[in-house]
Amino acid sequence: MVNTKVKLSGIELDNPIIPASGTFGFGYEFAEIYDINCLGTFSFKGTTKDPRFGNPTPRIAECDAGMINAVGLQNPGVEKVISEELPKLKACFNKPVMANVSGFSVEDYAYTVEMLDSQEQIGWFEVNVSCPNVHGGGMSFGTSAEAAAEVTSSVRKVTKKPLYIKLSPNVTNIVEIAKACEESGADGISMINTMLGMRIDLKTRKPVIANKMGGFSGPAIKPVALRMVYQVYEAVKVPIIGMGGIATAEDVIEMMLAGATAVEIGAQNLVDPFACKDIIDNLPKVMEKYKIDNLSSIIGGAH
């Protein structure tokens, strides 16, 4: 009998499978088609201080081995997440959930985390630093070690819950940024967010997405994600949640060997809503195939 359990900052998960933020709503939508309590946990839809309608449409484009999205953090705002979304989630999910938080200023991040901190359902925070810094010229917080560290230390002051910083791959040196977050109080690193991509319509000769560019995700980015997780694992002591192109139980094991303690599945949920359940069901069989008795024993095993 294989053991699929892992520990993420002191909280035990039945397995390392976590649907990624933005691909699983607030959970109850998927609870209509299967029992989501089979998941390790999940990261709910990116939440901001104020409600957001998101970017203009079209904001999704398919491409070879992946997709591009520029949804633009559409969400009802933190107050409605607390008053409406979390009660609905509580009715169908009895495990701690991961709260994904976004912001456009350091104050935004701190406010939203502080508001969510008292919610007992929330086990961890996943702070997305890929948002444009409105006070810093519009560059993403995640493209600068200093800016990422500032967000980390600000949020650290308003919560004692485990704090994971979700890093952008659209940088020259992701290791430097991961180390800055660790030094500023992060309990873990979540990586990688989407890469930047675009599609052009041959008939109109214009970008397919109204925003011109968007986040590229799917199987095509897995080699980049593996490389970055591998590099960061060697540089930090905190756990890593790895993601980027994960679609099978074999992918999960490969990501854990690179250094991930848990693994998020993103774009695959949009292709197949049963993706996470199927991966969880297949994991014991794949572990037996590769003679793995205890999943937590392989973390960083490729080093």
| Residue 181 appears among annotated catalytic residues | no
Token digits of residue 112 = 């939203």
H helices of the chain, where?
A: 28-31, 78-80, 86-90, 106-117, 145-156, 174-183, 222-233, 249-258, 267-271, 275-289
CA distance 252 to 131: 27
Amino acid at 117: D
CA distance 127 to 58: 26
The reply to whether omega before 192 is within 30° of 0 (cis) is yes
Place of tokens 């992946």: 66
Residue 238 CB neighbour total at 10 angstroms: 20
How many residues are recorded in the chain?
Answer: 303
Nearest to 241 by CA among 197, 292, 190, 296: 190
3-state secondary structure (DSSP) of residue 186: coil
Q: Which of 38, 63, 92, 131 is catalytic?
A: 131
**Positions marked active-site:** 131
